Amino acid sequence: MPHPIIFDTDPGVDDAQAIAIALRHPDIELLGMTTTYGNVDVETATHNALLLAELAGREIPVAQGAAAPMVKPRHPAPAHIHGANGLGNIELPAVRGRPDPRSAAQFIVDTVNARPGEVTLMAVGPVGNLAAALQLDPAIIDKVKQVVIMGGSVREGGNVTPVAEANMFNDPDAAARVLTAGWPLTLVGLDVTHRCVLTPAHMARIEAGQGALGEVLAGSYAFYRDFYYEFLGIDGCCPHDSCALAWLLRPELFITSRGHLTVAMSGDAEGQTIFAPEGRAFIEARWSRTPLVDVCLGVDGKAVSDWIADTLA
Ligand code: RIB
Ligand code: CA
């Protein structure tokens, strides 16, 4: 049985790779995409989500969501990483479709309520849409099947600050709410995504296998790859957002640990995810106050990267 999912995203080069998997994989039933600012502004995110679905020949609802963080001012979009258009500044075809008239939060609430116990919420951008959905209808906590979040870092350190990962840093207030809501949650963070590298050889296979969609994936990858070479010295890119789908479909490739998660909302540690393993007593009991969640701490990075390429080749 395919997994029914809502994919919450800020496309974004690595988001686009993940969206392609969600659109193509036979074990995924993509119920809709919800969009957020993050790698780009939310209007561009919506445009890109619609475009990627059209290039794959799919009609998928796309509901636009958060344009800014819940509380703090918005950080500038990282145009040097994803391009000003989110897809490596390549020329893009026109989009024909229109977004769903509902807000992202309303779309999430309606879809989860229509299929209680079935829907996986997968978020690979700042998580304001999930926080807004919780505000709209807290009862969805008991109705989602699970929540999978690409974000955070436990041992790896951050990619925006020494301790904070981008999706958490972009809206730490929303992240604190969503990560401690008490729903079944798995965090797929930099501890595993930094172990995965999508190489030029992988991308050549993906480009050959994906037609018009493959051209966009390969063109945007070329831009993103330059960033990774400059900043991490690797030839390829970390396919962060695809790792969340890999965890859903190939969990045996990951090592997870259960425990309590908190998010620092201000100060130098803003956006840091802090993990207290289950059963480990701390003198300060507050570190064990939040509901238990699962966090990915280990991965077979080569197998995940090969799986991404095999899925799209
Ligand atoms: O830190 C990685 C995350 O932030 C990914 O979701 C990527 O798209 C970036 O914006
Ligand atoms: Ca993303």
9, 168, 241: residue to mutate for ligand 1 pocket, most atoms within 8 A of CB = 241
Residue closest via CA to ligand 1's atom 10 equals: 39
38 lines ligand 1 (CB under 6 A): yes
16 lines ligand 1 (CB under 6 A): no
Ligand nearest to the CA of 159: 1
The predicted pLDDT at position 199 comes to 98
HSE of 64, CA atoms in CB hemisphere, 13 A = 16
Helix 13-24 to helix 240-249 angle, to the nearest 10 degrees? Answer: 30
Domain count, the chain: 1
The answer to whether 240 is a known catalytic residue is yes
Instruction: Render pLDDT for 53-84 as a digit per residue (tens, 0 to 9).
Output: 999 999 999 999 999 999 999 999 999 999 99
Ligand nearest to the CA of 14: 1
Average pLDDT per block of 10 residues along the chain, 313 residues long: 97 98 98 98 98 98 98 95 97 95 99 98 98 98 98 98 98 98 98 98 98 98 94 94 98 98 97 97 90 98 98 97
**Residues 158, 153: Cα–Cα separation, whole Å:** 6
How remote is the CA of residue 140 from the centroid of ligand 2, in Å? 23
The predicted pLDDT at position 104 comes to 99
167 lines ligand 1 (CB under 6 A): yes
Return the number of other C-beta atoms located less than 10 Å from residue 89's C-beta: 14
Q: Which of 226, 125, 121, 123 is nearest to 166 (CA)?
A: 125
- Domain extent, residue 76, equals 3-312
How remote is the CA of residue 280 from the centroid of ligand 1, in Å? 30
- In order of 38, 64, 273, 287, the CA distances from 187 in angstroms are 18, 23, 10, 17
Residue closest via CA to ligand 1's atom 1 equals: 166
The predicted pLDDT at position 286 comes to 87
SS3 200: helix
The predicted pLDDT at position 285 comes to 87
> Which of 240, 260, 300, 306 is the catalytic position?
240
The predicted pLDDT at position 261 comes to 97
How remote is the CA of residue 164 from the centroid of ligand 1, in Å? 12
166 lines ligand 1 (CB under 6 A): yes
The predicted pLDDT at position 231 comes to 86
15 lines ligand 1 (CB under 6 A): yes
Looking up residue 215, the CATH number of its domain turns out to be 3.90.245.10
Query: To which H or E segment does residue 255 belong?
Result: strand 254-263
Task: State pTM to two decimals.
Answer: 0.98
**Residues 255, 136: Cα–Cα separation, whole Å:** 34
Query: To which H or E segment does residue 179 belong?
Result: helix 172-179
> Which of 3, 8, 10, 173 is the catalytic position?
10
Return the number of other C-beta atoms located less than 10 Å from residue 3's C-beta: 20
